[in-house]
Amino acid sequence: MNILLRIVADKRQEVDLRKSLIPVSQLECSALFNRNTFSLATSLKNSTSGIIAEHKRRSPSKNVINQNFSVCEVVKGYENAGASGLSILTDAKYFGGSLDDLTIARACCNLPILRKEFIIDTYQIAEAKAYGADAILLIAAILTPQEIQQFSTFAKQLGLDVLLEVHNAEELDKSLLPSIDIIGVNNRDLKTFNVSLEISKKLSALIPDDFVKISESGISSIDAVKSLQPFGYKGFLIGEHFMKTENAGASAKAFINQLK
């Protein structure tokens, strides 16, 4: 069984447990649930760099990346660096994240925040809003077309932007819905974890201009970003490249300054 299937199986158990502990009615009472959100899609459209900077402690492919930074230190550094948005990993078992990371990030900066998670239930979308997210990630590889439509529509009702992640033309074909704001092409094969920027280049022509296009995974150089910009990409999700340094914010600032 590949890593993605294993993560989803664990996630179903985790979500069932959380639903039994904290009902949606309680999430709706959160102080953050009724806040006006910041649009990640709009921020990317208006950005000169398009960098979505990620807070990520570890991953299944790299194990520990950085356990030392405080979330607040990282996101303040990213905001100061001129990032267009933030991505906060909230999966605990495989990525070392938490919903608390999301709430702390929200309290420490005014950038749009993407909840980076394996979403398989509308409950997680309500959670995202309750804990301070502005956008959610939907992964086409683990969802049916009906689920993508249901989840994205619900997210829009809550005022959240929707980033739909694809890896190939087949996934893209089932995902082009009006309730999607951003199409993210993941350069990492989630079954093998191999990375190639050619995936973004090949799929770019298949993505209508109605959607903001971003590229994810394997972006660690200025040349990589500049090679993707002519293909219409407005956003570039970068986490590990910044997080593995001694100062994620300073690393992001140097990177973004070089892009200008």
- CATH code for the domain in which residue 129 is found: 3.20.20.70
Considering 79, 127, 216, 240, which one is annotated as catalytic?
A: 216
Model confidence at 61, pLDDT cuts 50, 70, 90, reads: low
Is 240 known to be catalytic?
no
Considering 49, 217, 234, 251, which one is annotated as catalytic?
A: 217
- Please give the average per-residue pLDDT across 194-199, as a whole number: 91
Is 186 known to be catalytic?
yes
Assign 3-class secondary structure to the chain.
Answer: CCHHHHHHHHHHHHHHHHHHHCCHHHHCCCCCCCCCCCCHHHHHHCCCCCEEEEECCEECCCEECCCCCCHHHHHHHHHHHCCCEEEEECCCCCCCCCHHHHHHHHHHCCCCEEEECCCCCHHHHHHHHHCCCCEEEEEHHHCCHHHHHHHHHHHHHCCCEEEEEECCHHHHHCCCCCCCCEEEEECECCCCCCECCHHHHHHHCCCCCCCEEEEECCCCCHHHHHHHHHHCCCEEEECHHHHCCCCHHHHHHHHHHHHC
Considering 43, 54, 59, 240, which one is annotated as catalytic?
A: 54
Domains in the chain: how many in total? 1
Considering 43, 49, 56, 215, which one is annotated as catalytic?
A: 56
Q: What percent of the chain has pLDDT over 90?
A: 83
Measured over all CA atoms, what is the biggest interatomic distance in the chain, rounded to whole angstroms?
48
Poorest-confidence range of 92-106, 165-179, 186-200, 222-236?
Answer: 186-200
Supply the range of the domain harboring residue 148: 3-259
Is 216 known to be catalytic?
yes
Considering 186, 187, 215, 251, which one is annotated as catalytic?
A: 186
Residue 56 has pLDDT above 90, yes or no: no
Which tens digit of pLDDT belongs to each residue from 125-143?
Answer: 999 999 999 999 999 999 9
Q: What is the model's pLDDT at position 69?
A: 77
Is 217 known to be catalytic?
yes
Q: What is the model's pLDDT at position 48?
A: 87
Q: What is the model's pLDDT at position 68?
A: 67
Q: What percent of the chain has pLDDT over 70?
A: 95
Q: What is the model's pLDDT at position 193?
A: 72
What's the mean pLDDT when you consider all of the chain? 93
Is 246 known to be catalytic?
no
Distance CA 42, CA 32 (A): 21
- Please give the average per-residue pLDDT across 156-166, as a whole number: 98
- Please give the average per-residue pLDDT across 189-207, as a whole number: 87
Considering 116, 129, 213, 234, which one is annotated as catalytic?
A: 116
Model confidence at 240, pLDDT cuts 50, 70, 90, reads: confident
Q: What is the model's pLDDT at position 190?
A: 66
Residue 191 has pLDDT above 70, yes or no: no
Residue 194 has pLDDT above 60, yes or no: yes
- Please give the average per-residue pLDDT across 6-12, as a whole number: 95
CB 55 within 8 A of CB 239: yes
Is 56 known to be catalytic?
yes
Which tens digit of pLDDT belongs to each residue from 31-54?
Answer: 999 999 999 999 999 998 999 999
Which tens digit of pLDDT belongs to each residue from 64-112?
Answer: 555 667 899 999 999 999 999 999 999 999 999 999 999 999 999 999 9
Considering 165, 171, 240, 251, which one is annotated as catalytic?
A: 165
